[in-house]
Amino acid sequence: MSRSSRATETAAAESPARSAGLLRDCTAGDAAAVSAIYNHYVERTTVTFEEDAVPVEEMARRIVDGSGRFPWLVWEQDGAVLGYAYAAPWKSRSAYRHSVETTVYLRADATGKGLGTRLYRTLLERLRPLGVHCVIGAIALPNPASVALHERLGFVKIGRFQEVGLKFGRWLDVGYWEIRLP
């Protein structure tokens, strides 16, 4: 199935009240918008452990490199990217090849509207035919919104590393949630 037909099917499946948006594959052309969304969290929050803003060129490289193997998705509405989600290999060793780590970020003014859930559900659906068995979500804690999102989608908490990151002068824990795909 082509990328455009997947995007069209996703948009057509939405209810009429929500059809103004389009869930589609992310491309290098989305790098500026994706970078702006992500850098908000890099510069202002502890939900990511990156500490320096990611330049557009670097984000474009990440999108191109990552989308060759696993999905990168964006939610676009009125011509603007409001959020993105992607999967990446969990570890590089061969036996981990059926496990991925997933990520979802929304523009700050797009949270609380169900877009993260829609992006994440579609990402999980797209991972199933790729032979992915285990999907892992790493969450910097505390982050009640991300915990709620993962648990709403069926993820189960499997562990917590204490004080593994230092950002903005604070030691931070990371929790891990997983879901196994049928």
| Architecture in CATH of 3-180 | 3-Layer(aba) Sandwich (3.40)
This model's pTM is above 0.75: yes
Residue 99 pairs in a beta bridge with 134
Structure token digits, residue 101: 């780590």
Taking only the tens place, the pLDDT of each residue in 7-64 is 434 443 444 344 479 999 999 999 999 999 999 999 999 999 999 999 999 999 999 9
Q: Distance (Å, rounded) from C-alpha 92 to C-alpha 28?
A: 24
CB atoms within 10 A of CB 33: 20
Q: Are 116 and 106 in contact (CB under 8 A)?
A: yes
Q: Which segment of 15-19, 80-84, 145-149 scores lowest on mean pLDDT?
A: 15-19
Using DSSP's 3-state secondary structure scheme, residue 140 falls into strand
